[in-house]
Amino acid sequence: MTLLLAGDIGGTKTILRLVEFSETVGLKTLYEESFPSGDFPDLVPIVQKFLHTANFTTPEKACFAIAGPVRGNTAKLTNLSWFLDTDRLIQELGIVSISLINDFAAVGYGIFGLTKQDLFTLQVGKYQPAAPMAVIGAGTGLGQGFLIKHGNQYQVFPSEGGHADFAPRNELEFQLLKYLLDKHNIDRVSVERVVSGLGIISIYQFLRDQQIATESPEIGQAVRTWEQEAQKTEKTVDPGAFIGSAALQKSDRLSEKTIELFVAAYGAEAGNLALKLLPYGGLYIAGGIAPKILPLIQNGSFMLNFIQKGRMGSLLKEIPVHIILNQQVGLIGAGLCASRL
C-alpha cells in the first residue's frame, strides 16, 4: 500500500484527498477536505493544515491538478497570485515526490478510475484499444486534451484547443460571430467564448438582443445583475444555471433557443477534435455543464452536429462518445497520476 495525496487546486476552492493505492484495489479514499483558496497565501499552509487534521503519516507522493498552465515543474494559477514550484513544495512539505499537472490533464488520468456508472454513452462506436483517446469539457472555460498509448499505459497531454477559432456554420452562427466581435471590440472569437458557461450567457445575450424570443423577468434580472457585476471577481448570480434550468423545464423559449445553439456548437467542436485525433479509444465529454443538461444533449442535436462533417461523417460514427457524470474525475486523476510517479 502506498499513501498518496491528491489535490484539485482552483481559484475558488482547493480540494485535498488522502488516498491509499494498491495494484489490486486501486485508489481508496482515507480523508478529504475542501478549503477556500483565497483564504491562504499559498498551497503549502493548506496542505500542512490538511495533513495535521487528517493525522496520518506524511504521504510518499503527491499530485496537484492546477487550474492554470503548467510549465515544467512550475505553475501559476489563473485566478490566484500563487506561484507553485515542485522543488519548493517538496522541501517545505517533506513529500518525496510531487507533480503538478494541468487540471484537464487530471481529467485524462481520471478516466481510468471511472466505473460504468460514472459514464453516459452517447455513441457506442467501434472501440479500438490501441487508438488515441480524447477529452473535451465545457465549464468555466473549454478544456481539451488527448491520450496516446505507450506500452501498457497511456500518456496524457493537455492542450489549449479551446482557444482555437470559433467556426460558424450557418447564418445564425455567423451573426453570433459578428455580434461577439462588435460587442467585445476584438479581432477574433475563440470557440471558448461560445462553448462554455460564459458562452451560454453570450449566446443568450445575442438571441435577446436579436429579439428571437421574449425575455422572462426572472432570467432577465439574473442576466442584468451578472452584467452589472462583470468587472467583479465574485458574482452573486449564475445566469447560466437559470438558463439551463429553464431550458430543461421548457419554461422559457429564449433559454431553450440558447441551449439549442450551445449544444449544437458543443457537438460541432467535439467533432472537430475527433477529426484531428480519430480517438477510437473513446472521446470523453467532461466539465460541469453536460451532466446538468443531459436530457438536452441526449435529444440528438449534439451527436448530429458531431458527425456532420461531410465525407468524414462516416468515420465519426465509429468513435465511442461518453459523458463523464462523476464530477470528481480530476481528483481521481490526480491520485492515479501520483501513483505513477
List the binding residues for ATP: 7-12
Chain centroid, CA 1 distance in Å = 31
Residues 6+ apart with CB under 8 A from 231: none
- Alpha helices, DSSP H only, in 185-252? 197-209, 217-228, 239-249
Residues 6+ apart with CB under 8 A from 189: 165, 166, 177, 180, 181
**Distance between terminal CA atoms of the chain?**
14
| Region for residue 326 given its phi and psi (left: phi exceeds 0; alpha: psi -120 to 50; beta: otherwise) | beta
| Whole-angstrom distance, CA of residue 74 vs CA of residue 275 | 32
| Region for residue 250 given its phi and psi (left: phi exceeds 0; alpha: psi -120 to 50; beta: otherwise) | left
Residues 6+ apart with CB under 8 A from 277: 132, 134, 146
Task: For residue 174, give Cα distances in angstroms to 18, 72, 120, 161, 179.
Answer: 48, 39, 32, 21, 9
Q: Which phi and psi angles does 60 have, rounded to 5°?
A: -75, -35
